[in-house]
Amino acid sequence: MKKKLAAIAMATAMAASLAACSSKPAETTAAAEENEETTAEAAEGSEAAEAGDSAFAGKTLVMSTNAEFAPYEYHDGNDIVGIDVDIANAICEDMGASLEITDVAFDSIIPEVQSGKADFAAAGMTVTEDRQTQVDFSDTYATGVQSVIVTEDSDIKSLDDLKGKQIGVQQGTTGDLYSTDDFGEESVQRFSKGADAVQALSTGKIDAVIIDNKPAQVFVDENDGLKLLETPYAEEEYAIAVKKGNTELLDAINASIANLEESGKLDEIVAKYITAE
Ligand code: GLN
């Protein structure tokens, strides 16, 4: 599980560097000192937003997402709802802007942001080194863990047991990237939706699904005969993506994320969608 450890090490390093940019009061003193300037900027940003003179006031911001990822973004009737949607709405509210959501395949999200079709992406998107070369990421607002779903009667008990098995993933996600690296192309079956991978698992076409823990928990709750392996596969940080160089929007988003964390609203949003851990 070389890659898994590398992923965890990377996520930890990233968490440390992100912590240095965060304005959360609970950070270590060293981080807090380095942080004073950022915090001041964040405060200025929020004052500007409150005063209604943000550069985005009156504008419509387009958010790209893939609404197949409950509880972060999913369809509820004709609406797209979820943690990311509430966060994006709160961010737009801070800026005096309106929110429009476009629902695309997960691997089209970054191209939408790069081309300017979307202003930002909120999609439970993990910060990776590769993606950092394509878009700029906000401060992190959540932690994700890649998890393994198997059938209740599965002989797969550990990550090592996945060798030589057929693993279902959602195309283009970190679950796809890591399992392809660790177990080889021939072991990975890609689906456009996590739900389709889970369906293939339930009907015995594949042996396991690797997907982020929160959607994984929703799939296990909603489908009989499935369980999560207790061993997590890789830990990650979620952030919002903007077009490279769009610091004006990124600063405004970071100021809002800081507001949401400090006011406790972020916790409220998460609690609304995740009732039991
Ligand atoms: N966190 C994973 C990634 O960024 C999956 C996100 C998703 O499927 N929406 O690749």
Here the CATH number for the domain that contains residue 180 is 3.40.190.10
In a domain, 115, yes or no: yes
Same domain, 232 and 117: no
Same domain, 153 and 192: yes
Residue 25 Cα to ligand 1 midpoint, Å, equals 28
Q: How far apart are CA 49 and CA 235, in angstroms?
A: 33
Domain that holds residue 207: 144-236
- For each of the chain's 277 residues, which pLDDT tens digit applies? 434 444 444 444 444 333 333 332 333 333 334 444 444 444 444 444 454 568 999 999 999 999 999 999 999 999 999 999 999 999 999 999 999 999 999 999 999 999 999 999 999 999 999 999 999 999 999 999 999 999 999 999 999 999 999 999 999 999 999 999 999 999 999 999 999 999 999 999 999 999 999 999 999 999 999 999 998 899 999 999 999 999 999 999 999 999 999 999 999 999 999 875 5
Ligand 1 contacts (CB < 6 A) are 66, 69, 106, 123-126, 144, 170, 173-174, 212
State the pLDDT at residue 54.
Answer: 82
In a domain, 157, yes or no: yes
In this prediction the pTM is 0.82
Q: How far apart are CA 6 and CA 249, in angstroms?
A: 31
State the pLDDT at residue 237.
Answer: 98
What's the total number of domains in the chain?
2
Protein residue whose Cα sits closest to atom 10 of ligand 1? 173
Residue 236 Cα to ligand 1 midpoint, Å, equals 10
Q: Vertex 26, ends 25 and 31: CA angle to 5°?
A: 80
From 63, 65, 69, the mutation candidate for ligand 1 (largest count of ligand atoms within 8 A of CB) is 69
Same domain, 85 and 128: yes
State the pLDDT at residue 52.
Answer: 55
Q: How far apart are CA 13 and CA 5, in angstroms?
A: 12
Same domain, 116 and 163: no
At 202, the amino acid letter reads S
- Strand order from edge to edge, sheet including 68-69: 68-69, 73-76, 79-81
Same domain, 209 and 260: no
Same domain, 68 and 152: no
In a domain, 51, yes or no: no
Same domain, 123 and 172: no
* Listed residue (126, 118, 130, 145) closest to 239, CA to CA: 126
In a domain, 114, yes or no: yes
